[in-house]
Amino acid sequence: MAEPTDLTPADTDATARSRSLADLPRWELFLALSMVTIGLIARLWPRGPLWLDEALSVNIARVPFDELGAALKQDGHPPLYYALLHLWTDLAGTSTAAVRALSVFLSFAAFPLVWIVARRAGGTRVALWSVAVWAVLPYGVRYSTETRMYVLMMVLVLAGWWFLERLWTEPRWPDAVALALIASALLWTHYWSMWLLAAVGLATLLRWWLNRAEARALPELLFTGGALGIAGVSFLPWVPTLLFQSQRTGTPWGGVERPTTAVVITIIEFAGRASAEPQLMTYALVLLVVVALVGHTRNGDKWALMLAGPVRHGALWALGLAAATLLIGSTAAMVGGATFVSRYAAVIYPIAVVLIGWGLASCPPRLRGALAAVVFAGSLVGVALEISMPRSISGVAADVIEAEAPDALVVTCPDQLSVALSRELDDGQQVVSFPDPGSDPRFIDWVDYEARVDDADPTAVAAEVWRLADGRPVVLGSADTYATHVTACPAFLRALSNGHEQRDLLVSTGKDAFEHMSLVLLVP
């Protein structure tokens, strides 16, 4: 006969949902509240200048609405977030704090969503710890303060999860309509949403097959499948742009990754930057996901944890959706020659948060406290690293240029450095870039990007830069970490400096900012 447990799939929901916060131990409330407090402070902590992706997002968002589609066609994203950011900046302005405030606001809105989704899944204790994990995990803190669409994806996933669970419990058409609207919004926010919706579709088919003898199986299939189908139809007007982007823009800035590599990258990045303490925390996070699936406690034992069935079906379905999304998406990227970066995993991050919180709630009391302390401590280090490392050195570079060469023509190689730098420089400072000095430095044209870089003649571009300088000094901002410019930028520097005196203004090694650059002054 199996040992009795205080949590089983049969009795967890009924017991745990009826429990209030007042029923939980004070130490548990204090620790979770401390995590939430630190997470809120971290989201409001001032950051440095915008980096490329943020500055580019703002610049695209500020174009007139009727030009947004054309601007995004050469960038590689769907338009919903940019339209929202356009409206936001109309109201709040385009200062660094203002444009990041949208993501902070969306992150705050996610706190109650995490609570209701997690409470429905596993009860009050699961909700408490899921909110605490949402507050402090470094990945969430970073994207809650970045002018990008990733926290919007997270909010939409949480809302969609709520209605999906309702459809999978008691199928009704109002929930199907809500899911269709949310799924459509996800598709119009980021392309990786396709892989999540594909995983939901596969899971819905599997559930119908497993439960086909039950009366609700067919309505569940029809309502959920119908919602996904409506979302797909709503996205059809953007498909021609998507196809153009997939053929002509892609991800030239990154290499192809295997699906297994994508899984490892995701786990590490959820814990924070690639440093020792956050990486050690990944072991605890993986353990907690396992505990969410099969972890149970002996009655009255404050330490003993049993990792043996019965499996919590809700946690299993959630993990299956997350894993399928990541594997489908990363496999599609590998086959299509595209890259994978951890920010794409934002579409499954809310699921991971709830699973980790579920794992903490399923541990015996003292082990729960110990593992929560590990997650808290590891997150503190990860968040501290995230806060202390500026996202871009463009602010420092702009100060150096304005102090040392205020009348210089500024040129960047690669052109990706010009977007953030031009935002920090005075409006009167002329900025151009390699490979096309005639392009707008506020934007990047990703269409056939690698081919255009390879075809550019460094000597000809250098001559054009000196022509534009018209007797003024030239400041070159460059970095050697861009795969598309490994040979192009050194060749351009040689051509640009040929016959000219040069002096280093700023030497950056990459340890002083996520987006770094060095500055060289060239005298006519």
Asked if 25 and 109 sit in the same domain, the reply is: yes
Helix (H) and strand (E) counts in the chain: 23, 7
The predicted model gives 55-79 an average pLDDT of 96
Confidence of residue 299 (pLDDT cuts 50, 70, 90): confident
Confidence of residue 2 (pLDDT cuts 50, 70, 90): very low
**DSSP symbol at 523:** E
Asked if 161 and 64 sit in the same domain, the reply is: yes
Range of the domain at 57: 16-303+314-388
DSSP collapsed to 3 states, 241-306: HHHHHHHHCCCCCCCECCHHHHHHHHHHHHHCCCCHHHHHHHHHHHHHHHHHHHEEEECCCCCCEE
- Whole-number pLDDT of residue 451: 94
The predicted model gives 368-395 an average pLDDT of 94
27-57 burial, b at 16+ Cβ within 10 Å, e below that, comes to: ebeebbeebbebbbebbeeebbbbbbbbbbb
Confidence of residue 46 (pLDDT cuts 50, 70, 90): confident
Listed residues 330, 361, 388: the one ending a domain: 388
Q: pLDDT tens across 472-520, in order?
A: 999 999 998 898 999 999 999 999 999 999 999 999 887 889 999 999 9
Asked if 460 and 509 sit in the same domain, the reply is: yes
Asked if 376 and 409 sit in the same domain, the reply is: no
Asked if 447 and 379 sit in the same domain, the reply is: no
The predicted model gives 311-338 an average pLDDT of 96
Q: What percent of the chain has pLDDT over 90?
A: 84
CA distance 32 to 133: 8
Q: pLDDT tens across 437-461, in order?
A: 999 999 999 999 999 999 999 999 9
The predicted model gives 367-388 an average pLDDT of 94
Is residue 43 within 8 Å of residue 107, measured between CB atoms?
Answer: yes
CA distance 344 to 266: 9
Is residue 225 within 8 Å of residue 201, measured between CB atoms?
Answer: yes
Is residue 478 within 8 Å of residue 413, measured between CB atoms?
Answer: yes
CA distance 172 to 347: 25
Domain count within the chain: 2
Tokens 């704090």, located at residue: 97
Q: pLDDT tens across 100-120, in order?
A: 999 999 999 999 999 999 999
Confidence of residue 22 (pLDDT cuts 50, 70, 90): confident
- Whole-number pLDDT of residue 17: 54
Asked if 293 and 146 sit in the same domain, the reply is: yes
- Do the domain assignments include residue 176? yes
Asked if 298 and 444 sit in the same domain, the reply is: no
Asked if 259 and 244 sit in the same domain, the reply is: yes
Listed residues 368, 388, 408: the one ending a domain: 388
- Whole-number pLDDT of residue 16: 55
- Do the domain assignments include residue 4? no
The burial class, CB within 10 Å (0-12 / 13-18 / 19+), for 393 is buried
Asked if 437 and 332 sit in the same domain, the reply is: no
R_g of the chain computed on alpha carbons: 25
Residue 300 pLDDT exceeds 50: yes
- Do the domain assignments include residue 249? yes
How far, CA to CA in Å, does 48 sit from each of 103, 201, 353, 387, 519? 16, 41, 27, 9, 19
Confidence of residue 273 (pLDDT cuts 50, 70, 90): confident
The burial class, CB within 10 Å (0-12 / 13-18 / 19+), for 60 is buried
Q: 62-70, long-range: CB within 8 Å, 24+ apart, which pairs?
A: 62/86, 62/89, 62/94, 69/241
More confidently predicted of 11 and 314: 314
- Phi, psi for residue 477 in degrees, rounded to 5: -105, 125
- Do the domain assignments include residue 28? yes
Asked if 182 and 331 sit in the same domain, the reply is: yes
Listed residues 372, 388, 404: the one ending a domain: 388
The predicted model gives 207-213 an average pLDDT of 95
- Do the domain assignments include residue 263? yes
CA distance 404 to 425: 13
